[in-house]
Amino acid sequence: MTRQQKRAITIQDISCMGRCSLTVALPILSATGVETIILPTAILSTHTGGFTGYTFRDLTEDIDPICAHWQELGVEADALYTGYLGSAEQQQQIARIFDDFGAGDPLILVDPAMADAGELYPAFDLDFARGMTTLVAKASLTVPNITEACLLLEKEYPGEDYDQAWIEQTMRELSALGPRQVVLTGVSFEEGRLGAAAYDAELDTVSYYFTERIPGYFHGTGDIYSSTLLAALLNDKSLVEAIGIACEFTVGAIRRTVAAGTEPRYGVDFENEIGNLLQLIQ
């Protein structure tokens, strides 16, 4: 039986509240017509950024049996997409999943969701970051922010002190780890403008997309960006088009959240921006 609809398997945590990881990936992919299979890595009451007292249930033990069942069913996917992981052990499990579900040459997007603004997220250490480098090596596309890129490459975090040559060299170094395509988020060369850079090793092309920079720190926007990027790619957009669509959608959601004055810890209002996303993706 041939499948018309694109299908993604996404592997990341469920932060029950706070609009990140699966609670943004699933609606964004679904809204854009992508059948989405979820593999939760952990369940938390909230994300770990800015909340205290959150619960955490590690689902490492469930992953192999879930995947074994899917293999029995002969599940195939057009994309495998990983985000925030629950444990270092999961990095090895997921590397195996990439092999097990690799028939048909799916797009493998690894978002090394582990750090931002020069700091690892509370649950992670440098060993976890090294493990992430081995997972990124198996990806066809990786989408780090600048902090994550530096951790993956074990290079010093430059803060805001970088230029175009540094960004392009960093993307080439990331691609040399394995992925054909690299998208670096949170790139800014001038005050008031923020965006993403993309590198495609096979085409040897670099491109950029910038929008207005809205001051503040907005949780979950990295996950919204990666999910939208994948949604655009699975809707047959080029990488250059996809980085722009993901920037516009993410900044649109941030703009709404700032206008509404809601607490950024609870994530951004991407829900009311979905209509615009569908127009961008058409």
Residue 197 CB, nearest approach to ligand PXL (Å):
20
- Which of the residues 166 through 195 are near ligand PXL (CB under 6 A)? none
Q: In what order do the strands lie in the sheet with 7-17?
A: 56-58, 35-46, 7-17, 79-82, 107-110, 141-142, 181-187, 193-200, 205-212
Site membership for ligand PXL, residue 144 (CB under 6 A): no
Q: Which is nearer to ligand PXL, 20 or 197 (CB)?
A: 20
- The answer to whether 132 touches 120, Cβ cutoff 8 Å, is no
Contact flags string 97-126 toward ligand PXL, x per CB under 6 A: ----------------x-------x-----
By C-beta, is 121 or 162 nearer to ligand PXL?
A: 121
- Please give the radius of gyration of the chain, using alpha carbons only, rounded to the nearest integer: 17
Q: How many CA atoms lie within 13 A of 176 on its CB side?
A: 9
Q: Write down the residue that tokens 């957009």 correspond to.
A: 237
51 binds ligand PXL (CB under 6 A): no
Q: Using the rule CB under 6 A, is 84 a contact of ligand PXL? A: yes
Least distance to ligand PXL from the beta carbon of 57, Å? 11
Interaction residues for ligand PXL, span 210-249 (CB under 6 A): 220, 222-223
CA dihedral 20, 106, 244, 175 (to 10 degrees): 100
* Binding residue for ligand PXL, selected from 47, 78, 98, 150, defined by CB under 6 A: 47
Binding part of the chain for ligand PXL, among 14-22, 102-110, 174-182, 256-264 by CB under 6 A, reads: 14-22
> Cβ closer to ligand PXL: 20 or 79?
20
Q: Are 46 and 17 in contact (CB under 8 A)?
A: yes
Give me the torsion for CA of 248, 253, 259, 264, rounded to 10°.
-130
Helices (H), 2-156: 22-31, 60-72, 89-100, 126-136, 146-153
Tell whether residue 266 is a contact of ligand PXL (CB under 6 A).
no
Specify whether the CB–CB gap between 111 and 82 falls below 8 A: yes
Using CA atoms, how far apart are residues 172 and 200, in angstroms rounded to an integer? Answer: 9
Which of 84, 208 has the CB closer to ligand PXL?
84
> Residue 254 interacts with ligand PXL (CB under 6 A)?
no
* Residue 20 engages ligand PXL in binding (rule: CB under 6 A): yes
Binding footprint of ligand PXL on the chain (CB under 6 A): 13, 15, 20-21, 44, 47-49, 84, 113, 121, 220, 222-223
